[in-house]
Chain A
Amino acid sequence: MTLLARPTLAPGEAVWVRVALAAVALLSLSTLPSAPSLDFPVGLAAAVDLGVIGSAAGRVVIVVGALLGALLLVRGGGRRRLAAAVGLLLLPQLLAATAWNSQGFAHHGHQAVTLALAGACIAVLIDDVGDESSLLFGAQLLVASCYLGAGVAKMVEGAGFAFVTDAPLLAVEVVKTARQHQADHALAMDDVDRAHAVATWILAHPHVARAAAAGTILLEVSVWLGVGSFGRGALIGVLVVAMHRAILAVMGLSFPLWELLVIACFVRPLAAIGALRARERRLGA
């Protein structure tokens, strides 16, 4: 079993990799409105004044730069062109997301996109091949790193397995997210009442909550096993998307950027279609 190897692309998947990375980056940017204040600067914003990002002119530069990067990436090319295109896409996304995260609240989906683009950019520069498989390899490594980080945090900050043993207490998070959603739009209390019922059920079935929590940690620290292998990657990718969907159903928390990254980098629909066609050919022969 080869681990952490560069993936082999299916026919036509090179275009998919380029389009998918460009689409995820643009989607991330489209959900990043101008930050009105940078009162809690993080990352680059702690060293450089990114206030200009919030101005109308700054926004135009960000959008034009990202669109240009996306177009160049979709067009494709050799190692240097791919690296330049991903770099051009990465820079505006990094600046806009850094500014957004400097308002006192973090959004980790944008962080995963930034790291995936950075991984793709570096990989295509230093990898032997320097094509779309290198882009995918770099993105896979960094997406896996993000999930590993989330799993490690649960073990380190929970001082062992408190995340698992105390998992029934996540019931309060169910009510909290429902209450926040209700507050967002001053809605009726129907969803909050439903959340209270779900929370009561979770507290009455602590072992179910603990099993789900244990499965979550196990999956998060296992994503790296899917790097380089279509079969393992697709299996882990589908499980991760199912995990996010389950969290959405129970807690009302959505993870669109994470899901898209996992689908683009691990589930790889074109590779799945290619594998199915190859199987049909083998059976037909």
Chain B
Amino acid sequence: MRARPRVALVVAVFAVVGPVVIGRIVGEQYPFSPLSMYAVPGPRRQVVLLVDGEARPLPIVALTGVSAARLEKRLRREIQREPVGAVARTLAFLSSSAQRAGTPLPVGARLTLIELVVADGGVSERPAILEDR
């Protein structure tokens, strides 16, 4: 840097450490982030699926452009904001995404949940009911 080398080193250290501290303080505020993905391993996880009226899985990416991973994050954020109606709002988001993609969701499309649990030396899958409160 233009100033003395010691100042340049301080600036460089700040450039490395500063965004880490800011991300920890402000949370997910783009472009800063606490980068906490996969930071805390746990024995239970959930997968949210888009299915048709007969509970058959629908190809969510082709229909909506939204992946199952993003669907799960979106639903979690909706629940954090307001649990009542969170599932319906998430489905409405998917429906609008599908409309934009020119591939409307089939009638009766809904969300279901699979719980993944570490048990008996493996991971078991347990279908769970996903309903709005």
- Which residues of chain A have a CB within 8 Å of any CB of chain B? 3-5, 33, 36-37, 39-40, 42-46, 94, 97-98, 101-106, 108, 111, 114-115, 118-119, 123, 126-128, 137-138, 141-142, 144-146, 148-150, 152-154, 156-158, 162-163, 166-177, 179-186, 196, 199-200, 203-204, 224, 227
Contacts and interface: CB of A to CB of B under 8 A. Distances in A.
Contacts of B96: 36-37
Interface in B76-104: 77-78, 81, 93, 96-97, 100
Interface residues of B, number: 65
Contact of B118 (A37, A39, A163, A171): A171
Contacts of A196: 122-123
Give the one of B16, B32, B97, B114 with max A CB within 10 A: B16
Give the one of A43, A149, A150, A166 with max B CB within 10 A: A149
Contact of A94 (B11, B17, B31, B81): B31
Majority SS at the chain A contact face: helix
Contacts, number: 207
Nearest to A46: B29
A168 to B, nearest CB: 8
Interface in B49-79: 49-50, 56-62, 65, 67-70, 72-74, 77-78
Contacts of B58: 186
B126 interface: no
A114 B24 CA distance: 18
Contact of A33 (B9, B47, B65): B65
B42 interface: yes
Contacts of A203: 118, 121-123
Given A36-B97, A40-B77, A162-B41, A153 B36 contact: yes
B119 to A, nearest CB: 10
A201 to B, nearest CB: 10
Given A4-B9, A152-B24, 7 more contacts: A4-B12, A46-B29, A103-B93, A111-B31, A126-B2, A169-B118, A184-B59
A204 B122 CA distance: 9
B45 A172 contact: yes
Interface string B1-36: 110000001011101111110011000111111111
A149 B60 contact: no
Interface of B: 1-2, 9, 11-13, 15-20, 23-24, 28-45, 47, 49-50, 56-62, 65, 67-70, 72-74, 77-78, 81, 93, 96-97, 100, 114, 116-118, 121-123, 125
Nearest to B38: A173
Contact of B33 (A4, A33, A106): A106
Name the 5 nearest CB pairs between A and B, nearest first: A43-B30, A169-B41, A105-B73, A104-B74, A180-B68
13 contacts: A5-B12, A36-B100, A98-B30, A101-B28, A103-B93, A104-B78, A111-B33, A142-B15, A163-B41, A169-B41, A177-B69, A181-B68, A186-B60
A104 to B, nearest CB: 4
Give the one of A138, A156, A172 with max B CB within 10 A: A172
A162 B43 CA distance: 13
Contact of A103 (B9, B11, B74, B100): B74
A163 B39 contact: yes
Contacts of A43: 29-32
